[in-house]
Amino acid sequence: MSQVIALVDDDRNILTSVSIALQSEGFVTRVYTDGAAALKAFGDNPPDLGVFDIKMPRMDGMELLRRVREISAMPVIFLTSKDDELDEAMGLAMGADDYIAKPFSQRLLIARIRALLRRQDLARGEVSAGDDEPQQQVLERGRLTMDPARHKVKWGGKDVTLTVTEFLILEALAQRPGVVKSRNQLLDIAYQDDVYVDDRTIDSHIKRIRRKFRATDPQFDAIETLYGVGYRFDDE
């Protein structure tokens, strides 16, 4: 079945051109000119991935993402203004998986979409390196439980909802407790395709992961920062 991509942008020219490009690649597209209309539609029939412009009337991309994250962990790519670092940082902090600055190459956008969808499949255990690979096992580390096949995370028995990128980063840390992972190592794991993102991307995702766990457990401190080195998971 074709995967569904939701495009949300008040620029109809972008909606039309990107929609045509994605359809030519085999995707199904749904287009919306503002966040309010998109959010209403998502409640009835959620897409597989969303591409949101940030600056829109009625409901901007930031607010749309905030509302979406209350009900879904679907991958989201932000379209930002060129060189607007504040938009990028805020988007990542709120739970976006990726961002692309306008003007952008449609080829690049399609590559990013495919990369995110592949990472989503990896996180769910739906793809593997070979047909004979065993199914991913449930990972248990102290109070943490991660089930890749179901994309489920629990802390002390309570559900924690993570995006695809957040799941892969946490899984990489939890697989080897006490071992430090550098930002570059985590970038390679979370962004497996040839896509450039910088160090602050990982920092933003880590902050978001901690915030989600602390909403369940205010004393959560299992992800440690080693300044100038990277991050590690402590399961004690």
Residues 120 and 145 in one domain: no
Q: Whose CA is closest to 77, among 48, 53, 46?
A: 53
Residue 129 in any domain: the answer is: no
Give the pair of three-digit tokens for residue 13. Answer: 């020219």
Helix (H) or strand (E) holding 114: helix 106-124
CATH of the domain at 210: 1.10.10.10
pLDDT of residue 206: 92
Residues 41 and 143 in one domain: no
pLDDT of residue 71: 82
CB 99 within 8 Å of CB 92 = yes
Task: Look at the chain and report how many structural domains it folds into.
Answer: 2
Residue 20 in any domain: the answer is: yes
pLDDT of residue 230: 94
CATH of the domain at 60: 3.40.50.2300
Per-residue pLDDT for the chain (236 aa), expressed as one digit of tens each? 689 999 999 999 999 999 999 999 999 999 999 999 999 999 888 899 999 998 888 898 999 999 998 888 889 998 887 555 556 666 666 778 888 878 888 888 888 898 888 877 766 665 544 444 445 688 999 999 998 877 789 999 999 988 778 888 999 999 999 999 998 888 877 765 545 555 677 888 898 899 999 999 999 999 999 998 999 999 87
Q: CA–CA separation, 236 vs 228, rounded Å? A: 23
Residue 131 in any domain: the answer is: no
pLDDT of residue 136: 61
State which residues form the domain around 115.
Answer: 4-124
Residues 215 and 167 in one domain: yes
Residues 71 and 111 in one domain: yes
Residues 120 and 144 in one domain: no
pLDDT of residue 123: 61
* CA dist 83 → 34, 104, 164 (Å): 23, 12, 25
CB 190 within 8 Å of CB 165 = yes
